[in-house]
Structure 1
């Protein structure tokens, strides 16, 4: 009870009681009539004492009832209990009051009980208002739950993060059940439409989830099957010595593997290991073959390094006619020396090109304009032929390393013709 509101204490004065009552010799107590000519009202008997004790006894009983009413009025003022509990207490007091004959201010007590009844009505109205607010808030919470479930169900299946989405949907269902258990309870008309929406959202979500995983399992099985076919083809090619076409074939297989995407988690790593192992067998053999070829070309590189050194000894070409025969002989020796390892091709071509450019420039500076023009055209043709021959040599070598006999043969035929033209030009 609030300390600001305390019940009063009622005590009926005995003088007033003596004026309104009568006690006979046997201890029977009567209330005198309020008007002349009226009848006495019998209160009860008290045989454990004299008349004064009898009046005190029945007065004390009335005061107890009165003070219970005062206490109830204080409880109503502080809303210490629910309206239902307070109304039950008020009804009990009223029943006791009306059921008996009392010594005391019955009219005043009845007025207090009426006041209490009005106060309880006010408490009930406040409870109703608070309950309506609580119900409104409860509906808002349910609406939030339903809306969140509908948003989850509306996500495109292929864009849904199903693990976290499933956890979220389970959380929403647990929240729904928790809200059902806690007061205030919603009426059937309030809850049913929300439950229908929530149930439909969960059903849609579950239908999308099942369809997604059925489709994904089907696609995964198809990916697994397709990769098995790629593995079989890769294993079939792993011992091929046709390095060029097979290299291209492996590149094609790798592109197809990537296009398929990842397969089932349980088999993807094992399939990749088998696919990669077949490639490793082939590319290891190819690297060994290329290494052997490069080793063979290493001797050619030594010869060309020596020839390049001798050509540089002739520089600068201040008198090109004096060293022309020696220069052409060294160039012929350079061509005859053969191919060099792939890693040294560009470096050696750049070095010999610098020497040749320097010689042509020197020749142009020592000849007449007509001769220079003719030699420029001849030098340009020679340069083009040399570039073509270098390109054809690379194509021939590549065809040989790839086991492409037809390509190798065509490159050699083209080389023979262009070397013949080059020889005619350089000897003129």
Structure 2
């Protein structure tokens, strides 16, 4: 057999049959009759090279982790079957061994994927438990404005998480779904109640607006102003009506209120202008009244103030912004005169004067008795009694001096 008819991994028989050498022996891989033996070996060797490239590419993809363990195992099985029965010339046993060496790699990747899935499942379980806990808190809350939006966000987060084992996933989902349902039911009930309250408020505010409009042209300023204050309290107590209705009714109510108080203020301003002259008169009266102070002649001051008071009342009303100041000044003069009068009364009170005189008399009698006792004790040489009586006598005389001064004050 010539060199062209054989190689390290195969040969070509004289009839053009090509054989490949394997660990199990030779086997025919095909027949090439139209060319030379060298061309026949080249043809089947090139087939081997393509197969070798495929095996190399597969092992690289497995090693990089691009394929899942299941995909890798299936691909190795398919390619191995192709290698074992390949119509090619080359080291097929080496390719088979290379494919078989991927078994431990795939097993390691499978365990890693399993651990990764377990880790992700644990993390997913933890995240879903957090979502459930938050949903259950929302279910018991009254956050009607943000709660619904937040529950939608929680649902989107739930959908993005990996599923758990069926029992655990179903259990957590039931809690999550129950919380959403409970919140939605309470929220609907709340807004139904709010709608009912707003509808009731609308009825009340329509009545208040209508009454306010009937009062807008009233000139009974005092009672009407008081009624408007009552209406405002009722308005606030009624609560909100539906927004568009509430704004419309408020414009009616406020318009009527502004109309009344505007007319009242205009009337008051007109009266204030009329009363300005009265204020000037009272200013002049005040000048006379304040000239009475300090009081030197009580009776003359009282007579003068009575006359000034009559003139004060006759002067009439003054502008509202002057009332407090003017009244305070006239009251100050009145109180000063009354204070002088009260002080005089205290000093001339007959009852108090009589009590003071009686006290003087009693003290003088008591002092006379003590002086007599002191004289007898001195004659008897009773020094202890003398000392005690002298102390008593000194104390009584001090009280007598005080009583006499008080009596002289009441006596005028």
Task: Give me the TM-score of the superposition, normalised by structure 2.
Answer: 0.67
Separation in 2, partners of 1:34, 1:169: 67
Question: Which residue number in structure 1 is paired with residue 206 of structure 2?
Answer: 228
The reply on whether 1:121 has 2:121 as its aligned counterpart is no
Flag the 1:373–1:130 CA change in 2: closer, same or farther, 3 A.
same
Distance 2:292 2:157 in 1: 94
Cα deviation per residue 1:374-404 (whole Å; 9 max; x = unaligned)?
9xxxxxxxxxxxxxxxxxxxxxxxxxxxxxx
Unaligned runs of 5+ in 2: 353-412
User: What is the CA–CA distance in structure 2 between the aligned matches of 1:58 and 1:281, rounded to whole Å?
Assistant: 110
Partner Cα separation in structure 1 for residue 168 and residue 289 of structure 2: 102
Name the larger-Rg structure.
Answer: 2
Instruction: List alignment gaps of at least 5 residues for structure 1.
Output: 1-13, 375-428
- For 1:269 and 1:96, the matched residues in 2 are separated by 84
Of residues 147, 153, 158 in structure 2, which corresponds to 1:171?
A: 153
CA distance in 2, matches of 1:364, 1:198: 85
Whether the 8 Å contact between 1:307 and 1:330 is mirrored in structure 2 is yes
* Alpha-carbon distance change, 258 to 363 in structure 1, aligned in 2, over 3 angstroms: closer
Kept in 2: contact 1:76–1:123 (CA 8 A): no
Q: 2:295, 2:35 → 1: CA distance?
A: 159
Match of 1:301 in 2: 279
Identify the match of residue 93 of structure 1 among 79, 94, 102.
Answer: 79
Greater displacement, 288-297 / 270-279: 288-297
Separation of aligned partners in 2, 1:367 and 1:247: 47
Give the deviation of 1:220 after TM superposition: 0.4
Matched residue, 2:370: none
Q: d(CA) in 2 for partners of 1:22 and 1:328?
A: 153
Report the CA distance between 1:221 and its aligned residue: 0.6
Q: By how many angstroms is 1:229 displaced?
A: 1.9
What is the deviation of 1:356? 4.3
Note the 1:40-189 alignment, pairs <5 A: 41-51=27-37, 53-55=39-41, 57-58=43-44, 61-62=47-48, 65-66=51-52, 68-99=54-85, 105-156=91-142, 160-162=143-145, 164-177=146-159, 179=160, 188-189=166-167
Question: Whole-Å Cα distance in 1 between the matches of residues 76 and 344 of structure 2?
Answer: 137
**Aligned residue among 316, 321, 327 for 1:349:** 327
| 1:257 and 2:235 matched | yes
Higher relative contact order (Cα pairs below 8 Å, separated by 6+ residues): 1
What is the CA-CA distance between 1:64 and the residue it aligns to? 5.0
Tell me, in whole angstroms, the C-alpha distance in 1 between the residues paired with 2:177 and 2:343: 96
Shift of 1:81: 2.8
Change (3 A) 1:51 1:207: same
Question: Is 1:27 the counterpart of 2:16 in the alignment?
Answer: yes
CA distance in 2, matches of 1:365, 1:94: 131
Residues 1:234 and 1:324: Cα distance change in structure 2 (over 3 Å)? closer
- Give the 5 Å matches for 1:378-417: none
Distance 2:316 2:19 in 1: 149
| TM-score, normalisation: structure 1 | 0.64
| RMSD between superposed Cα atoms in Å | 4.3
